[in-house]
Each structure stands twice: as structure tokens, then as C-alpha cells.
Structure 1
Amino acid sequence: MAISVAENARLLDAEQRLLVKADQDIEEGWQRIRDQEDRVRELQVGGHDTRQAQRLVDLLKQTLIEWERHRVLIAQRVNYLQQQVAAGKLEAG
């Protein structure tokens, strides 16, 4: 069963919105990491134990890697749907 051009266009629009959100989330994630790294440095200067704070930085980075992998999947889906919409328009045109 073929999906209509209109349905592919609707799916494309939804995936493009997800891609924008993923980009925003990733940028905010990098900012959180920078903020946490600043806190670690402040703690180090103050002579405090920074193991847990550094562990949080590491966990944030691991999470961000997964977010970036997910973003790649969304971008691939967007590309696929763009091709489907373009092909459907050519067939209909």
C-alpha cells in the first residue's frame, strides 16, 4: 500500500519539527555541560571534592552522544521523506 503524497508531506513536517527540537535540545545540553564544567572548576579552586560533579559531566556527555545519534536518525528520516514527497509530486504532476 502506497502512502499518499499528502501523508508523506505531513510526516515530513512532523519529522522536521522533531529535528528542530533535537537541535535545540542538543545546544541546551552542551550549555548544561559547560555550566557544570564551570562548577567543577569552582569546586576545585575551593578545594572541594569534585568526583560527583565530574561524574555528572561525564553522564551529561554520554547522554548528549545519544541525543546526537538520535538526531542523525531523525535527519535520515527527513531526507527519506523529502525524497518520497518529491517522487510523489513528480508522479502526480
Structure 2
Amino acid sequence: MAISLAERTEQLNTEQRLLVKADQDIEEGWQRIRNQEDRVRELMAGGHDTRQAERLVDLLKQTLVEWERHRVLIEQRIMYLRQEVEPGEPGG
């Protein structure tokens, strides 16, 4: 069953909204990492055990890597949908 141009256009719009959300989530993720790294430094300065806090930083970074991979997939889907919706146009 073929998908109509209107459905493809709606898919494109949805993916573009998802890309904006992904960008926001990634920026917020970087901010969480910076905040946690600040906490680790504060704990270190106070002579506290920082192993769990450092583990959290590592987990946040691993999560962010996955978010960035997902963002790339969204971009690829947008490029594909643009070619479907806007064939023959520059960049499409």
C-alpha cells in the first residue's frame, strides 16, 4: 500500500519536531553532566568518597551517546522523507 504525499509530509513534520526535542534533550543532558561533575569536584574537595558520583557521570555520558545516535537516525529519516516529499528540489 502506497503512502500518500500528505502522510509523508505529516511524517516529515513529526520527525522535525522530534529533532527539535532531541536537540533540547541533548543540551539538557550536557547540563546534567556539567552539574554532576561540579558535585564530584565538591565532594572531592570535601574529602568524600566520589565513586558513586563518578559512576553517575559515566552513566549520564553513556546515555548521552545513545541520545546523539538516536538524533542521527532522526536526521537520516528527515533526509529520506524530504526526498519523498520534495523530489527534484535542491537538497531533496
Which structure is higher in RCO with an 8 Å CA cutoff and minimum separation 6?
1
Give the structure-2-normalised TM-score: 0.92
State the partner residue of 2:37: 37
1:4 is matched by which residue type in structure 2? S
Segments of structure 2 that go 5 or more residues without pairing to the other structure are: none
Read off the aligned partner of 2:8 and give its amino acid letter.
Answer: N
Number of aligned residue pairs: give it.
89
* Residues 2-56 of structure 1, C-alpha deviations (whole Å, 9 max, x = no match): 2111111000000000000000000000000000000000000000000000000
Question: Which has the larger helix fraction?
Answer: 1
What's the RMSD between the two structures over aligned residues? 1.4
Greater than 2 Å deviation, 4+ residue runs: none
**Identical pairs, percent:** 76
- Give the TM-score of the pair, scaled to structure 1: 0.91
Structure 1, unaligned runs of 5 or more: none
